[in-house]
Structure 1
Amino acid sequence: MSAYALAHLRRAPVHDEVLEYLERIDATLAPFGGRFLVHGGTVEVLEGDWPGDVVILEFPDLATARAWYGSPAYQEIKPLRTRHLAGDVILVDGVEPAHDSSRMAARLRRNTAR
Structure 2
Amino acid sequence: MPKGYIIGHITVNDPEAYQEYIVRDTPLIEAAGGKPLVRGGEAENAEGPEFARHVIFEFPDFESAKALYYSEEYQDVARIRRENATSMIVLVEGV
Using the size of structure 1 for normalisation, the TM-score is: 0.74
RMSD between superposed Cα atoms in Å: 1.5
Q: Which sections of structure 1, spanning at least 5 residues, go unmatched?
A: 96-114
* Aligned-partner residue type, residue 12 of structure 1: N
| SS in structure 2 of the partner of residue 36 of structure 1 | strand
Partner in structure 2 of residue 39 of structure 1: 39
Whichever residue aligns with residue 2 of structure 1, its letter is K
- How far has the Cα of 1:55 moved from its partner? 0.7
Identity %: 31
Offset, 1:12 = 2.4
Work out the CA distance in 2 between the residues paired with 1:31 and 1:52. 27
Instruction: Pick the structure with more strand per residue.
Output: 2
| Count of residue pairs the alignment pairs up | 93
> Relative CO higher for 1 or 2, CA cutoff 8 Å, sep ≥ 6?
2
Instruction: Provide structure 2 residue ranges, at least 5 long, that are not aligned to the other structure.
Output: none
State TM-score, norm by structure 2: 0.87
Q: CA deviation at 1:35?
A: 1.2
